[in-house]
Amino acid sequence: MKYRQLGQTDLNVSEVGFGAWTVSTNWWGKITEQEGINLLVRAYDLGINFIDTADTYSNGYGEEIVAKALKDQRHDIVIATKFGYDIYSPFERIGHEERPQKWTPEFIKYACEQSLKRLETDYIDLYQLHNPRIDTIEKDEVFEVLNELVKEGKIRHYGVALGPDIGWFEEGEASMRERHVPSIQIIYSIMEQQPARDFFPIIEEQKTGVLSRVPHASGLLDGTYTKDTVFDESDHRSHRRRDWLTTGLKKLATLDFLIENLDATIGQTAIKFGLSGTGVASILPNFTNLPQLEELVETSDAEDIPEDFLARTHQLFDENFGLPVEEETPVGD
């Protein structure tokens, strides 16, 4: 495993990180608690030192499982979590709809204290605004309270995680140019290259550290899907447009030059693509089983993508992989 500095922070994170979303929500296949703990422990043993989670993952469980698995290794790992969703007020959730958000200074302080308790730690390495809209980023009081938390030692750094899906250019630009956040989390994959590519000049200008999630485009780039794949109703991918998988597989067929010419699996190549982005420090795959984990942690030793191949992937994306525009189907999370 290789490690990279996250922007101008003092955080050195593994090139392959661990997104606790998949071991805490059952939105990416059903995983038992023990299986999730085993994955986290094995990830640490294999060199992953960066764990990304959020308070809203199963109402706090996404933080609790990190503590259950890695509490004794706390000072050897970098923990990022997120805040902004009100998981403390009654809310009848329908499917995967988004919870209400809350950004008052009092709520942010309270949310931070609760995350510290669930993580069983006295500091958070990276505290991220979770899917903030532009009006939130424009609130001085949000960043004033975050700076207070830094001074108090409860968080070391703060950043912004953009979402819930791809897009959010306005929010990303304001976060970096107006708020000068040291870290930004985005989606960037061969299948989903924008707005990340538009962000890269700003990232270079501001020296922002980047975390990239969904490198495998919801599984299209990890070698597991066929046209006959069916998802359980609880699975996040089952709620997409009916044709997204078919369209995605058509796009995948144009990437044979990567599969045939590189000494790497398609899953590893997808991570290498993400790591080629400006300022990218760590990639967050969706781990669901041990063989997949063991394959992807070897990415640092896999063959890099040559510049001409990278340019070809950019051109393919710009041309919608040769498909009619109406077949364009976002596949991010």
Q: Which residues are tagged catalytic? A: 57
Structure tokens at 178: 């107006």
Which residue blocks in 120-193 are alpha helix, DSSP H? 134-137, 140-151, 169-177
Phi, psi (degrees; rounded to nearest 5) at 41:
-65, -45
95-to-58, 60, 92, 239 alpha-carbon distances in Å: 13, 18, 10, 9
Read off the tokens for 298.
């070897």
Q: In what order do the strands lie in the sheet with 50-52?
A: 18-19, 50-52, 78-83, 124-130, 155-161, 183-187, 209-213, 280-284
Residue type, 17: G
Q: How far apart are the C-alpha atoms of 25 and 42, rounded to whole Å?
A: 19
Phi and psi torsions of 90, nearest 5°: -55, 135
Alpha-carbon gap, residue 54 to 62, rounded angstroms: 6
Terminal Cα distance for the chain, rounded:
26
